[in-house]
Amino acid sequence: MVHLKKEETKAMVAVRGWSGILLGLLLYAVVLTGAVAVFAHEIGAWSAGHLATRLSFQQPIDATMRRLTAQTPPHYREAVNLFEIGDHGLGVFFHRHQTNAKGVPAEKGVPGQL
């Protein structure tokens, strides 16, 4: 065991205490910024006031789909894709399947948003 003078022991205890405080503050900053990074989407929606109580596919969409279908040219009504966009929004893509001049399958259509 190493015996130190009283002044050296006090200095070592002070260094250990201050380094513990600084490393603790650093750990706190890492945890806080990590939590903000994980919940960034939710914090952004909350701060913008976009708190939706329903998920995208739980919204009533029948009337909107009928209106968008009526506005879409008939040759693009062969198929429709629904997908989630942004903060609980729904996107819609009316399209038809065809092949281009090179014989490669392609989809041509009209995008929309519910």
Give one DSSP letter per residue of the chain, joined into a string: -----HHHHHHHHHHHHHHHHHHHHHHHHHHHHHHHHHTHHHHHHHHHT---SS-GGGS--HHHHHHHHHHS-GGG-SEEEEEEETTTEEEEEEEEEEE-TTS-EEEEEEEEE-
Does this model's pTM top 0.75? My answer is: no
Q: Is residue 1 part of a domain?
A: no
> Is the same domain home to 31 and 62?
no
The answer to whether residues 80 and 34 belong to one domain is: no
Structurally, the chain folds into a number of domains equal to: 2
pLDDT, one tens digit per residue, over 78-90 is 888 888 887 667 8
Question: What is the extent of the structural domain holding 18?
Answer: 6-38
Residue 32 is predicted with a pLDDT of 96
Has residue 15 been placed in a domain? yes
Per-residue pLDDT tens over the stretch 22-71: 999 999 999 999 999 999 888 887 787 766 556 666 777 888 888 888 88
Instruction: Flag whether 24 is in a domain.
Output: yes
Per the domain annotation, does 48 fall within a domain?
no
